[in-house]
Amino acid sequence: MCSSTKGFEPMLKESINHFLASYQNGSCDFSVFESIFFRLVQTMPDPPLEITWFYSAVTFHSSKSAGFSETTVAKDLFQLLISCSGSCNGTKKIALLAPLIYVLYDIVCEFSRNGLCLTSEIKELVEKIVDYICLCLVVPENGNMIDDDIVCFEELAGVWMVHLVGKCAKVEENLGVFFPIVSVEVHKGQKSRRGIRDLAGIVMCEVFLLALSLKFNMRFVNEDFQKNARNWAIHTLKQFQNTEFLDMLLRILLEKKLVVTALLSSEDAVILQKLLYDAVILVDHSFLSSGRWFQIPESSFRNLVLLWSLIADNAIQFAREICDQDRLNAYANAFSESQLPSELLKWVSVQAGIEEKLRNPKLMTPKALIKWLFVLEDQGLWVFDHDKLKFDAKAAICISRPDCFLPEVQPRKCIGDEEMDDSMDKTFSNAYFCKDKLPVDGSRKRKDLVKDTDIRGTPVKLVKYNVHESPNREKFLPFSDEDMEVMG
């Protein structure tokens, strides 16, 4: 919480309560709130996000009450948020757009429910937002800056969704409406994250997915369209090189179903999934520099690589299910040629003290990497920081996930599948990793997790191993002799 926001917090809370009471009593005159908060925004050199949000919210509701079209109100809101953030840094400018995405998605859903073709104005507005975000990201910011929590977060979301107040029983439901493209399950795993940088990552993710899905609107999806949409996705990902954005996008892709596919036909939803896997797996994520991995104990970069490896495994499974041999090969090659697994191995080797055995490793598949990391955890190395991440990693090993995104497609054996088999299976069976039966539902409660995947609530001392002296050497290095020759 920044000091300027802290000083205005009592007034902000009181104003929110008065506004909600006024709205519920049927009032449409919010000029008093507009006048007071307009002066605040104008007189403060860098107005807090919370102050700007409340001011823009009451202005938005006044415009709606005046009878302007939803499209006009959305366009005016975009310009208002831009004008109020001139002195802000790029991250804050992006975070301020969160209510606009909520408004836009509501408009898009309304068109979809009525079977109407979306107006060009809305699609152009979404494209302008993407361009605006790219401009905000031009100037890099200090990644070590303290990311203060946003005060009155849920209350401010309630101001934007004032017409729904009382209809959502839980905070998660309110946030699920306010962030419509991010699933409730992802929100549950991110409860503690209420900072501006995290909010900016959510906004970027929502805009990216919304813009990509709108390209399908009433279009004939041929090969040229898919190629252009794929190029756009890859180009945009390269511009959105932001750790919070990538973290959120990867977590969304781990979900069984993308929320945004509700706007698409079942056929287009499959194509969207292909495009997203292509973009996330094949794009260069070299901005995750290894030089920053060791600056903090619980590295966000390490978690990103773990997430990316799980998505790579999902993508390979997806390609097998639809028997797309070209994609299967492309995803497998992208994983084996990427620097990200090597960066993760470098971190692991330093923490475990086994650098001499991990020089220039060549991993075959993401599943092989994940299995090896679980063996290291059994030896005392803390690799997985979060229970959801660890659960998904175990599920990738223990559960055969047919038809994860395509319930109407029966998985078929593809040519060359046997070449993708994990060499670790020669040494360790799945029974080693799956001592208890895992449920298919990834929403399993923490207390029900399998015994060998419980999460350390507090940091523990990492155990350093000398692999030459350890009596469990065979268990610690779960590669066959042939694998060790390849790894060098």
Residue 166: what pLDDT?
55
Residue % of the chain over a pLDDT of 70 = 68
d(CA 92, CA 81): 11
Count Cβ neighbours within 10 Å for each residue of 354-390 and write b for 16 or more, e otherwise.
beebbeebebbbbbbbbbbbbbbbeeebbbbbbbbbb
Residues with Cβ < 8 Å from 388, sequence gap 6 or more?
189, 442
Residue 336: what pLDDT?
86
Only one residue has tokens 């490896």, namely 309
Tens digits of residue pLDDT in 380-418 = 777 777 677 788 888 887 764 444 333 333 334 444 444
d(CA 437, CA 440): 10
354 or 228, greater pLDDT: 228
What DSSP designation does 152 have? T
d(CA 452, CA 450): 6
Q: Tell me which residue of 111, 101, 100, 98 sits closest to 76, measured CA to CA.
A: 100
Tens digits of residue pLDDT in 272-297 = 999 999 999 988 776 665 555 444 44
Residue 119: what pLDDT?
83
414 or 222, greater pLDDT: 222
Confidence of residue 348 (pLDDT cuts 50, 70, 90): confident
User: Is the pLDDT at 371 greater than 60, yes or no?
Assistant: yes
The pTM for the full model equals 0.81
User: Is the pLDDT at 81 greater than 90, yes or no?
Assistant: yes
User: Is the pLDDT at 161 greater than 80, yes or no?
Assistant: yes
Residue 77: what pLDDT?
96
Residue % of the chain over a pLDDT of 90 = 34
* Average pLDDT estimate for 463-484: 38
d(CA 279, CA 230): 7
User: Is the pLDDT at 43 greater than 60, yes or no?
Assistant: yes
d(CA 81, CA 463): 50
* Average pLDDT estimate for 7-36: 89
374 or 133, greater pLDDT: 133
Residue 241: what pLDDT?
82
Q: Tell me which residue of 101, 130, 106, 129 sits closest to 118, measured CA to CA.
A: 106
Tens digits of residue pLDDT in 414-462 = 444 444 444 455 555 555 566 554 444 444 433 333 333 333 333 333 3
Residue 454: what pLDDT?
32
User: Is the pLDDT at 481 greater than 50, yes or no?
Assistant: no
Lowest mean pLDDT among 149-158, 172-181, 189-198, 285-294: 285-294
* Average pLDDT estimate for 186-193: 58
Residue 160: what pLDDT?
93
